[in-house]
Amino acid sequence: MFLQSFAGGLMIGLAAVLLLLGSGQVAGVSGVLGGLVEGRGGAGGWRIAFIAGLALAPVLLLLAGGSVPGRLELGWPAIVGAGLLVGFGTQMGSGCTSGHGVCGLGNLSLRSLVAVSTFMAVAAITVFVVRHVLGRG
């Protein structure tokens, strides 16, 4: 499990470097998607191409007979609430796990270090409250 996580991390890092040195763009998923939602600039082609590649990865894996681990087992109010928070929060905070984490930390950005520390700590507190205070999950 540890080796797989590390190998996956290396692949994610390589993908980010490919986009950075090949296209001059930061591979932050919330930034790439947010730019499309906001309609920022005229040239959104690279954004659509990146998201299409991201979405095609699991489809190719399933077609090849593989499986994609991951099931979201929550009631719909929690799913909608969490989705709204993630969408709004990542735009307000200018990044998510990939933009601030994979890229911003790689760029030795203090803003990103503060953002990553904040969302990691708040997420851990949230899980603590949901699991150990409210007793769910």
Partner 1 sequence: MAPRNFVAGLLIPFASGLLFGFGLIVSGMTDPLRVQAFLDVAGHWNPALALVMGGAVAVTLPAFAYLRRGGRTLAGPAALPDRTALTPPLLAGSALFGIGWGISGVCPGPGIVIAAAGSLPALMFVASMVAGMAIHAWWRRRPAADAADKAQAAGA
43 exposure class (CB count in 10 Å sphere: 0-12, 13-18, 19+): exposed
d(CA 95, CA 21): 20
What is the nearest approach in angstroms of partner 1 to the Cβ of residue 65? 14
How many residues belong to the chain? 137
Rounded (5°) CA angle 39-45-48: 80
Spatial neighbors of 46 by CB under 8 A, at least 6 apart, are 23, 25
